[in-house]
Structure 1
Amino acid sequence: MSIDPSTIIIGLATAAGAFVQGTGAPPAITDPVTQTLESISASDVDQQVDDAITSLPEPMRAPAQQAVDDTAAAAADILSPHLPPGALSPPVPAPAPGVQSSEPPPSQPDPPAPVLLSSPPADGGDSPAAKGTVLPPVPAAFPRASVAPVGAIALFAPWLRKAGAICDGIKPATLAALYAAENGFRYGPTAPVSPTGARGPGQFMPETWSAYGKDADDDGTTNILGIADPVMASGNMLCDMFEQIGNWKRQGRVSGDTLDLTLAAYNAGAGAVLRSGGMPSGSPDYENQTKPYVAKIRSSEPSFAELLAPFIGLPLAGGAGSDVVEQAIRYLGLPYVWGGGGVEGPSGGGFDCSGLTSFAVHAATGLTLPRTSETQWTVGQEIPMDQARPGDLLFGNWQSGGPGHVAIYIGNGQMVHAPTTGDVVRIADVFPEMKARRIF
């Protein structure tokens, strides 16, 4: 099985990062190196390789691709013994809470913390922490280095879930694969606009947006550049097309897989499906754009279903509590750093548990919490766990001085937190014996 060039680049960055961080060199040396390593884009390497191969005459492309694959595989064999354990694997869970406090005592200075480019393997187990969700590994079926940041996908997940329940024919994974193909989950004022004027993560043209764009999250605006409004518009549009194409099939006017034709209609228009009597064909645009577009979405659906599974229960945006959750899940996969983070964001390359809660609460509400889990326990009022709602703080790892751990409740018995040394910001099931506190 061939190895993608991006895998080698990631492996080299991981190995170099582990070496630099293990030298004990001062931050003046290690910080710039780390920043450079973190800026490496495997997707750029892949694109350069792909562009070079595409520029070759047709008979030379397959041998060139094989040469790249063979070289990458050989490099992987050479590098493998020298990479840190698990360097090309996703981070894994840490031991259960209670083994150690997940933040430094307030009386001690913050120690220097390594910037981890990968997490060491652990023994796993059946503890709640061992069952927690980290940045999910990118499923192998994805095209190399083509996946949007998982933190961004997590923000879309609640609305993908809602839009994927409008009708039976359109599932959350279908919408996710479509949004990856359309605009890579890029949203907000800086989201790219297509050459034809399509805008936002759903790439809506003005006339289509005027028909389907609605204020889905009740924030008083209909925002084509946002998350909620475009995703719900896409869900409604796809469901309308799915029903229409189903009717045309029953009338014998078109033939083919209903979902394939629906996706083709989203790309080329329902009229193109009807005129072709099925999958649009004949026009160069249909052959070179619409058909590959449909194939790309359908082939990545199973992988997106796997990737979305940990996030599909996240609460829908709305209110301060959900804003706190949204701020925290932006940093899924960021390393745990003892004493790291605060109201300004991560520091030293990451967060500890109370650094994450301090940041998320301040970013969402402007409220400045005390810095440690013990002192955050003094803010607000305790509530029964069965009354916890998204944005409430959860406390655990109880010791003589109070709680040694704090997390943010996200709903459905899950929380987002920075667990402990060697781990990363992740979603996990709420630990037993945790207590909830409402702070706003």
Structure 2
Amino acid sequence: MKKAASFLLAMSIAFGAFAGSASATTDLRAAIDPLIGIDYKYGGSTTSGFDCSGFTSYVFAKFGIDLPRRSVDQAAIGTKVAKDELRPGDLVFFNTNGKTISHAGIYLGNGKFAHASSSRGVAIGDMNDSYYSTRYVTARRILDQTKYEKIAVEAPAVEVSAVPAAPAADAADVARTTEASELAAEHGL
């Protein structure tokens, strides 16, 4: 019985550690996060390696959205969005070759975007980074309001409640219970 009381106390402490809000995420982040760290591969559009437009195409295909294969072509679809009106799920485009749009990413919010970098593979970049801020060209919104709300809006956090703790036993209760179980064990009961 002493072991059972100790077990119940340990379980109530353990579940108490989980009380509070569970971390919320979006379907978009759930699709992107497992890809972080995958190597860059020119022309790549699979988990064996991505280039920038292969990465954006791969992610949006998970939601039934087909994108053109090249970043310059992706920049011609959807609705143009001002930089200060970006929302998660918007495509962001950069001129990294000095000629035309040559890089694409997916805006995540708070100035961050996911992309396949030739130097780091799939990574989270910062729109305010000196490299990207000076090369930013445009953004396109390809998600209508319904799709945006479904895949790119964070669901409200779910409250996880702890299991109520068993009432604490005082020392006399534990002693009586332990003594009774020891006597029962001695007499084969």
Question: Structure 1 length as normaliser, TM-score?
Answer: 0.27
Instruction: Compute the displacement of 1:424 (Å).
Output: 2.6
1:439 aligned onto 2:142:
yes
Aligned to 2:92: 394
1:359 aligned onto 2:51:
no
Q: 1:285 to 1:406 in 2, by over 3 A?
A: farther
Look up the SS of the partner of 1:418 in the other structure: strand
Look up the SS of the partner of 2:62 in the other structure: helix
Instruction: Compute the displacement of 1:367 (Å).
Output: 2.2
**CA distance in structure 2 between the aligned counterparts of 1:287 and 1:325, rounded to whole angstroms:** 38
Q: 1:399 to 1:350 in 2, by over 3 A?
A: closer
Could you list the per-position Cα deviations for residues 281-310 of structure 1 after superposition, in whole angstroms to 9, with x for gaps in the alignment?
A: 93347349936x74xx69xxxxxxxxxxxx
Letter paired with 1:394: V
Instruction: Compute the displacement of 1:400 (Å).
Output: 5.3
Aligned to 1:371: 69
**For 1:33-432, what aligned pairs fall within 5 Å after superposition?**
282-284=2-4, 286-287=6-7, 290=10, 294=14, 316-317=25-26, 323-341=27-45, 345-346=46-47, 349-364=48-63, 366-399=64-97, 401-421=99-119, 423-430=120-127, 431-432=132-133
Verify the 8 A CA contact 1:334 1:424 in the aligned structure 2: yes
**CA distance in structure 2 between the aligned counterparts of 1:382 and 1:332, rounded to whole angstroms:** 27
Instruction: Compute the displacement of 1:338 (Å).
Output: 1.9
Instruction: Compute the displacement of 1:386 (Å).
Output: 0.9
Runs (4+) off by over 6 Å: none
Could you list the per-position Cα deviations for residues 104-153 of structure 1 after superposition, in whole angstroms to 9, with x for gaps in the alignment?
A: xxxxxxxxxxxxxxxxxxxxxxxxxxxxxxxxxxxxxxxxxxxxxxxxxx
Verify the 8 A CA contact 2:75 2:139 in the aligned structure 1: no
Instruction: Compute the displacement of 1:328 (Å).
Output: 2.1
**CA distance in structure 1 between the aligned counterparts of 2:91 and 2:113, rounded to whole angstroms:** 9
**Unmatched tracts of structure 1, length 5 or more:** 1-280, 299-311, 318-322
Percent sequence identity over aligned pairs:
33
**CA distance in structure 2 between the aligned counterparts of 1:437 and 1:355, rounded to whole angstroms:** 17
**CA distance in structure 2 between the aligned counterparts of 1:285 and 1:352, rounded to whole angstroms:** 57
Q: CA RMSD in A?
A: 3.1
Could you list the per-position Cα deviations for residues 325-373 of structure 1 after superposition, in whole angstroms to 9, with x for gaps in the alignment?
A: 43222312222222111xxx42xx2211111100111211x22111121
**CA distance in structure 1 between the aligned counterparts of 2:69 and 2:89, rounded to whole angstroms:** 17
Question: Structure 2 length as normaliser, TM-score?
Answer: 0.58
Verify the 8 A CA contact 1:325 1:390 in the aligned structure 2: no
Greater relative contact order, per chain length (Cα 8 Å cut-off, separation 6+): 2
**CA distance in structure 2 between the aligned counterparts of 1:372 and 1:427, rounded to whole angstroms:** 20
Q: 1:371 to 1:388 in 2, by over 3 A?
A: same
The structure with the greater share of residues assigned to helix is 1
Instruction: Compute the displacement of 1:375 (Å).
Output: 1.6
Letter paired with 2:125: A
**Unmatched tracts of structure 2, length 5 or more:** 144-189
Look up the SS of the partner of 1:402 in the other structure: coil
**CA distance in structure 2 between the aligned counterparts of 1:400 and 1:429, rounded to whole angstroms:** 20
**For 1:24-39, what aligned pairs fall within 5 Å after superposition?**
none
**CA distance in structure 2 between the aligned counterparts of 1:381 and 1:373, rounded to whole angstroms:** 15
Look up the SS of the partner of 1:359 in the other structure: helix
Q: 1:398 to 1:418 in 2, by over 3 A?
A: closer
**CA distance in structure 2 between the aligned counterparts of 1:370 and 1:394, rounded to whole angstroms:** 14
Aligned to 1:170: none
Letter paired with 2:49: G
